[in-house]
Amino acid sequence: MTDHPFRHVLPAITTPFTQDDRVDHAFLGKHAKWQLDAGCSGIIPLGSLGEGATLDFDEKVAILETLVATAGSKPVLPGIAALSTRQAQKLAEAAKQAGCRGLMVLPAYVHKGELREAEAHVSAVIAATDLPCMLYNNPIAYGTDFTPQCIARLAEKHANLRAVKESSGDSRRVSGVLALLDGRIDVLVGMDDMLVEGVAVGCKGWVAGLVNAFPKESVQLFELARDRKHAEATALYRWFLPLLRLDTVPEFVQLIKLVQQQVGMGDERCRLPRLPVVGAMREHALQVIADALAKRPEVQA
């Protein structure tokens, strides 16, 4: 298999908004550069964490243009999702035109039909360009579970399907995909709190969330796990896990943006219908963040 961009640590970057609900392109570029300078290997915008479902088409294209200009030699790999297959194909084509070097392909928004419909949808999007693609499997969030057998059919049909982001939360699924596909595509960890487990069973990369606030720690954790430095990885993972678990609840967008705000790299402002978290959830998150910052380990530059 030739090289492709879906490796190492890839931030699912958040989308910053100004007070008047516009995309804050100046901060978006600054935030992306900060993560890339910390050792991340590319940027994934327009995903679930990027609030892609709330963005207009022109906003999405403008975000891609800002990130491509910022990323330099590192790839921008946007999430491709829409209400219809036609809209998703149009976005895939626009992403290629903007200079993106790969696509993360999601099932269609809203419609939750049979697997054959979801398979037909992502197949059409993968075929819309010749860019390398990563399928996004998140049955909890999207109501569609791309089984290993389905992924094998798609890989057989599309040479540019190079990876799958696995967010079922089941490490046995990672093993199942790797066994059935026999190295034809890579699997990436899609949930922050199973990074070490996923790498242990063969994942080649991490589509990360808390990297938006802790990029150096995220890169070091992945590399320690990849290099089988178990004691060091375990120590860092134990510190990181309370934060990483903020990525696994329905309010993960608001919580990760709150973490960014607390470390001085962003604002918790989201686009409606999302609002900042309040009450017990907010108090718990602030305590988790404060505890993590008080015990923050030394990491390599």
For residue 99, give every residue at least 6 positions away whose Cβ sits within 8 Å of its Cβ, in sequence order, or none: 64, 65, 68, 76
**Share of residues in the chain with pLDDT > 70 (%):** 98
Lowest-pLDDT range of 142-146, 187-191, 271-275: 142-146
Over residues 202-240, the pLDDT tens digits come to: 999 999 999 999 999 999 999 999 999 999 999 999 999
Each domain of the chain, given as residue ranges in start order, spans: 8-230
pLDDT exceeds 70 at position 300 = no
Q: What is the pLDDT of residues 117-135, one digit of tens each?
A: 999 999 999 999 999 999 9
- 113 or 229: whose pLDDT is higher? 229
Give the least confident one: 1-10, 94-103, 211-220: 1-10
Top CATH class, 8-230 = alpha beta
